[in-house]
Structure 1
Amino acid sequence: MRNIFCIAIALVFGFSIVKAENPEWGATGHRTVGEIATVYLKGKTKRKIAELLDGQTLALVSTFGDDIKSDKKYKEFYTWHYVNMPFDVRYEDSEKNPEGDLVTGIEKCKSVLLDATSSKEDKAFYLKLLVHLVGDLHQPMHVGRKEDKGGNTVQVQWFGNGTNLHSVWDSKMIEHYNMTYTELATNTNEISKNDVERLQQGTTADWVNDTQKFTVKAYGSAAIGDNLKYGYMYYNFEVVRSQLQKGGIRLAKVLNDIFA
């Protein structure tokens, strides 16, 4: 009987780890980033995007990067969703994944979109992927440690249910807040034009380094086995909201630079 119980426990925890190895903000988070970005797009950028996406919105295509994971022919893009680097190392000085990462993935998307010889089909594909990856860049656990797969193997509880730290930051807090992506996008913090311009400065690598500051805090916010509840939301959800807003503002900058 004891052996059967142990096997059952192992299967439960094993399932949560495997499931969480498909890292994402969660659909609501990605759509929020896309919706916020739309507010900051220039008119010409909006027209070019509408043409490439046949009228589809950034919010709609924002989950594309995760949707294609179910098709093995797109497995080359999997490592583009994250960067693994130690806390005391900047991206520029970190050991790079030879299969690519968030930074190289975003730069590839930009290069295809800026190439006049790229087909409309290729441009649409990489545009949808770009929208998703810029969102991923602002999820703190996507700039996590290699040894625990960005918090995927840091087992915790969420209101008494087993999960892991990566999932808490991906979707658990957003789901608990219980707002739609349009509500989250509408209810962002007030921000000045100067602050928008400040957030949009820098390179993709600079933005990774900026996100890593919150990654360090996220790792320090919980220990293995902790039961995270209302107090955790109180102290950490504002970071989630801020990163979603920041992701949208920066995505708009990237798209305006490409199309406008």
Structure 2
Amino acid sequence: MGLPWIGRLLLFMQLVHGVFCWGKYGHYAVCKIAEGHLSEDAMGTVKKLLPNWAKGELASVCSWPDDIKWNYNWHWTSSLHYVGTPNFKCNYKYYRDCYDSAGHKNKCVTGAIFNYTKQLFSAYQGYNPRLKYNLTEALMFLAHYMADVHQPLHVGFTGDLGGTGIKVGWYRRKTNLHHVWDTMIIDTAVKTFYGSDLSSMIQAIQRNITDAWSQDKSSWEYCIHDNTVCPNLYASESVRLACKFAYRNATPGTTLQDDYFLSRLPVVEKRLAQGGIRLAKVLNQLFSFQVKIGRSSR
């Protein structure tokens, strides 16, 4: 008999140490792409909010929530990096899926995006200015989780722990499927196609946004009812991509090589682009001082 869902999630929290996070390259890329699409107002506010050690660069802080989540005082954030979905359903529903290992509702990546968006909204758009938040932390968490929700296996199945429980080979290395999507596809691409230079990969993605994906950019930015942010949409996209690309041909014990890498890399690069464009859109709306925006809602 399998572990009950709480047991699986507790095991999940043990397994993901140092693994369950879109790697530093992925987070840096999403935030660097976003920086290139920020308005003057948004860029100015972001720079004011960033800690001094960031030296004015949003991308330099985007892995911070991964760096601190294993500290005792930050354990409560561990469940905010992902959301589990029912096995083989290939769909996501907020009220069904967003809870932590103790069953607390809203404690998942989409819930975190709603929360930190509303914190920044309250301060900069006057929704509830009496509430006091650490807005620097809110910005860093929001930027990080906007990237996480675009990694398909951050919205993977609970039964295999978002691919963490699927042991595979990546060329000559032993790993798990989640780590392949978090880190190894990007790392291999940087080394193989971009001369081990992440900035070259980011520039190539930016060119695609300007050229090949220029017709798609407005649809990526669309948010129902003119809401500020739509993480439920992003999560729904991710689980469908997980079913179509991440899980397919990646059964336990499989060695993944060129066929898998070359067919999945375009998916990863587009998700990095979408995460960056959407993060920029959210920050541009939050930090626009010209027009008041509509309240975020689930």
**TM class, shorter-chain normalised?**
0.7 to 0.9
1:143 CA displacement = 0.4
Q: What secondary structure, in the 3-state scheme, does the structure 2 residue paired with 1:206 have?
A: helix
Verify: 1:206 aligned to 2:229, yes or no.
no
Work out whether residues 20 and 167 of structure 1, in 8 Å CA contact, stay in contact via their aligned partners in 2: no
Distance 1:227 1:186, change over 3 A: same
Query: Match for 2:236: what amino acid?
Result: N
1:142-176 C-alpha deviation (Å, 9 max, x unpaired): 00011111000100011122100000011011111
TM-score using structure 1 length: 0.87
Give distance in 2, aligned partners of 1:139 and 1:108: 20
Q: Aligned-pair distance for 1:222?
A: 0.9
Counterpart for residue 75 of structure 1: 75
**CA deviation map 1:15-56 (0-9, x unaligned):** xx8356641110011100001011111110000000111443
Aligned length: 244
Number of the residue aligned with 2:252: 224
Which one of 170, 177, 181 corresponds to residue 158 of structure 1? Answer: 170
Residue 184 of structure 1, CA deviation: 1.9
Contact between 1:21 and 1:152, CA under 8 Å: does it hold in 2? Answer: no
Task: Identify the range of structure 1 (243-252 vs 229-238) with the bigger mean alpha-carbon deviation.
Answer: 229-238
Q: Out of 113, 121, 138, which is 2:120 matched to? A: 113
2:82–2:108 Cα contact (<8 Å) kept: yes
CA distance in 1, matches of 2:172, 2:17: 18
Given that 1:63 and 1:132 are in contact with CA atoms closer than 8 Å, whether structure 2 keeps it comes out as yes
Relative to structure 1, is the Cα distance of residues 68 and 151 closer, same or farther in structure 2, using a 3 angstrom cutoff? same
1:101 aligns with 2:108: yes
User: TM-score, with normalisation over the residues of structure 2?
Assistant: 0.77
Instruction: Say if 1:140 and 1:214, in contact at 8 Å, map to a contact too.
Output: yes
Question: What is residue 295 of structure 2 aligned with on the other side?
Answer: none
**Amino acid in the other structure paired with 2:200:** E
Does the CA contact (< 8 Å) of 2:91 and 2:240 recur in 1? no
Query: Which residue does 2:266 correspond to in 1?
Result: 238
What's the secondary structure of 1:149's corresponding residue? Answer: coil
Name 2:135's counterpart in structure 1. 123
The residue that corresponds to 1:7 in the other structure is none
* Higher helix proportion: 1
Q: Does 1:25 align with 2:22?
A: yes
One-letter code of the match for 1:43? Answer: E
Q: Name the CA distance, whole Å, in 1 between partners of 2:152 and 2:247.
A: 9
1:195 and 2:216 aligned: yes
1:185 corresponds in structure 2 to 202
Q: Distance in 1 between matches of 2:213 and 2:160?
A: 38
| Matched residue, 1:3 | none
Instruction: Report the CA distance between 1:122 and its aligned residue.
Output: 0.7
Is residue 2:36 matched to residue 1:39?
A: yes
SS in structure 1 of the partner of residue 216 of structure 2: helix
Unaligned runs of 5+ in 2: 1-10, 124-128, 224-229, 289-298
- Specify the SS of the correspondent of 1:256: helix
Alpha-carbon contact 2:151-2:181 (below 8 Å) kept: yes
Name which of 248, 253, 278 aligns with 1:250. 278
**Deviation of 1:85 (Å):** 1.1
**Structure 2 matches for 1:136-151, cutoff 5 A?**
136-151=148-163
Q: Is the 8 A contact 2:26 2:183 kept in 1?
A: yes
Q: CA deviation at 1:193?
A: 5.0
Alignment gaps of 5+ in structure 1:
1-13
- 2:150–2:272 CA contact under 8 A, matched in 1: yes
Residue 8 of structure 1 is matched in structure 2 by: none
Q: Share of identical aligned residues, percent?
A: 29
CA distance in 1, matches of 2:202, 2:96: 33
